[in-house]
Amino acid sequence: MINKNLIFLLLIPVLLLNQVHVNAVAQDYFLRNIDIERSPKNILIGSYIGGRSHLKPMLDVAIILIERGHNVILLTSGKYEPSSEYPGLKQISSGPQYVTAKSRNIHKDVDYRSLAHLMEITTASYNVTYEKFKNAAKENNIDLFICDPIANHVCIDAANNLNKPVVGFTSSFMQMMDPKPYKSDPMFGCNISLENESFFERFRCTLIQPLQITYAYRPFTRQLNDIREQMNIKSVSGKVPKVTLALINIFFGFELPQSLAPNVQVIGPVLSEEYPSLTPELSDFINGHKRVLYIAFGTRFYATIENNNKILQSIVETINNKIFDGVIWALSETSKDDFSPSLNFADGTQVQTLPILNNIHPHIHITKFAPQFAVLSHTNTKLFFSHGGALSSHESLYTGTPMLILPFSVDQMGNAQRLKSAGVALTVNKNTLDVNDILNKIDFLLKDEHIKKNSKRMKYLARINSNRKYRAADLIEYMLYSISLDEYLDDDFFKEWIPAESRMGFIKANNLDVYGVLLLIIILVLIGIVFILIKYISNPLSDRKKSKQA
C-alpha cells in the first residue's frame, strides 16, 4: 500500500504551481509602447565618387528614413537615376562623373600612389563642390549629413562648418574610420592582418608605410589646406575623418574582428528588400543547367584582352571537362572587341570566339547585364567568379555561393584576403592569370568540404546581420531627435558615444604618464639598492684594510 501522506506531500508542489499559474493568468498586463515621436527632418547624403557600389547601401538605409517621414536628398557626381528603385529621393548633381573605370589604368598594380590623382582631382574641384554642398544644405534646411568618406573631404567639411552632425558611411576601408595598429590593407602595401607577420614586416607597416603615404599625399594635403584657408573653412577631416557617428557596411566574420568605439557601428551587410528577378531568357538558361558558373566584374571594371581570352578559354574547358554544364558571363564594361578572334587550346584545337559571344554555344550565355542577386540565389549557381567588390561579396556570402576572385583595384584586394581568410574563396592574379590555375582553383572550390561548410556558416552569419540596416536608421533618427532638443554646438553634444580617449590624448588615455612615473620610481629604487649594496660591500673592505695596517 502506498502511504497517503506521501502522495499528499508529492502533490503539494503541483498544487502550488497551479496556484501560481492561476495568479499569473489573473494578472493584468499592458503592452510596451514602442512608438517614437517623429517629426520630419531633412537629410543630405553626399558621395564624391558616386556609382552603385558606393551609393546603394547608403540609399537602402535612406529609404527606411524616407518611409519614416524624413526628407532625403542625394548630392553626388553624375546621375544615379534612383527614382524607380528609391521613390521619394531627390538628387542634386555635383557635376560629371569624375572617376570611371576607363579613366584609370586598372590593369597595373594599384596602390596609394596610383590613387593620388583622385585626391588631386578632388582638391582641384574643392571650392566649387563645397559651394554646392553649402547651398544645398541652406536651401533645403538640412539637419544632418551622411557622407561617404572616400575622397569626400568636402562633405565632411561642409557639415562641420555649418555646425551640423555628420554620419560617415562606408562599405570599405574600416581602417579609415577606426584604425588599429594590427590591421592594414593591400592598398597601403600590407596585408589585412599583421597578427602573423614578422617583426620587420610589422615595423615596415607600422612606421615606414605611414611615413611614405604621408609623403606621397603631402603636396595635395598642403594644397587642400591652402584652399580651405582662402575660403575661411575650418579643417576638420584629416587622417581620420571627424564624424559624429561612423556606420560601416560590413560584419565581423567577413571583416577581421576588432574592438570598436561606441560611435563606430558595423551595420552590414546592407542589402535591399527586393531585387530584380531573372529575365525569361536567363531563367530558361539557368533552369536548364544544373551546375552553373556565374562571372561578373561589376559595372566599373574590366579585364585586358589577354585575360578575357584566358577566362573564356577556362569557361570552355570547364564545360568540356564537365565541371560545369552552364556559364553566365555579365560583360558590363566589356565588348566583343575586347576578345581575340579565336582561342588556341593546348591540344592544338582552335575555337572561334564570335559564335560564343553571340550566344551560339548552347552552354554559355553572354549578357550585358544580369540580375546578380537572382542569379546567385538560384540553387543551380555553384560558383561566382568575381572582382571582389563589397556589394558582390555581401551578396555572395548571403546566398552561400563560393567565390573565385580576380581583384582589380582599391578595396578588392583586401576583400579577397578577407574572403580567403573566411574560407569561402580563392584568388587569381590579374598580372599572372593562367588557365590551368583557374581550372585547378575552380575544382578545389567545388570539391573541398571546408569550403562548403564555411559557405554555409557565412551564409547564416550574413543573414543574421542583414537586418542591422534598421539599427543604422534608428541611430540616425536618435541623432535627429537629439538635435531637435538642443543645438548642435560642440563635441560634448553626443558625448554618450564618444570614448574618453579621444579627449584625453594618447599619453593620458593609455596611462603612459602613470606607467612612466612608476618606471621612474622603480629605477630610483633600484639605484638606491645598488648604492646601498656598493656602500655595504665597500665598508667591510675598508675595515679589513685598517685591521691589517694595525
Report which DSSP code applies to 237: B
Question: What single string gives the DSSP state of each residue in 511-547?
Answer: THHHHHHHHHHHHHHHHHHHHHHHHHHHHHHHHHHHH
Q: Can you give the pLDDT at residue 201?
A: 92
Q: Where are the alpha helices (DSSP H) in 189-304?
A: 199-203, 209-230, 280-287
Q: Are residues 301 and 241 in the same domain?
A: no
Question: Which own/partner contact pairs does 182-188 have at CB distance under 8 Å and 24+ positions apart?
Answer: 183/256, 183/258, 184/209, 185/411, 185/413, 185/414, 186/111, 186/413, 186/414, 186/417, 187/110, 187/111, 187/112, 187/115, 187/410, 187/411, 187/413, 187/414, 188/111, 188/112, 188/213
Residue 263 is predicted with a pLDDT of 87
Q: CA 134, CA 139: separation in Å to the nearest integer?
A: 9
pLDDT value at residue 402: 97
The pLDDT score that the predictor gives to residue 438 is: 95
Q: What is the mean pLDDT of the chain?
A: 84
DSSP symbol at 337: G
Residue 392 and residue 289 share a domain: yes
Judge contact between 347 and 320, C-beta under 8 A. no
Question: How confident is the model at residue 278, as a pLDDT?
Answer: 94
Q: Which residues of 246-284 are buried (b: 16+ CB within 10 A; e: fewer)?
A: bbbbbbebbbbebebeebbbbbbbbbbeeeeebeeebee
Same-domain check for residues 258 and 314: no
Residues 6 or more apart in contact with residue 276 via CB below 8 angstroms:
371, 373, 374
- The answer to the question of residue 384 being in a domain is yes
Cis amide prior to 210 (ω within 30 degrees): no
> To 10 degrees, what angle do helices 412-421 and 390-399 make?
20
Q: Tell whether 15 is covered by a domain.
A: no
Same domain, yes or no: 287 and 174 = no
What is the sign of the dihedral through the CA atoms of 486, 487, 488 and 490? negative
Same domain, 223 and 297: no
Residues of the chain with pLDDT under 50: 1, 100-104, 489
Q: Could you read off the pLDDT of 247-279 as tens digits, one per residue?
A: 999 999 999 898 888 889 999 899 998 899 999
Is 463 part of any domain?
Answer: no
Residue span of the structural domain in which 442 resides: 280-447
At residue 481, the pLDDT reads: 85
Say what the pLDDT of residue 236 is.
Answer: 66
Q: Are residues 243 and 185 in the same domain?
A: yes
Based on the fold, state whether residues 170 and 296 are members of the same structural domain: no
The 8-class DSSP code of residue 348 comes to S
CATH number at residue 412: 3.40.50.2000
383 within 8 A of 293, measured Cβ to Cβ: yes
Contact (Cβ atoms closer than 8 angstroms) between residue 152 and residue 169: no
Whether 353 maps to a domain, the answer reads: yes
E-strand spans in 307-401?
326-330, 342-344, 350-352, 364-367, 381-386
| Count of domains for the chain | 2
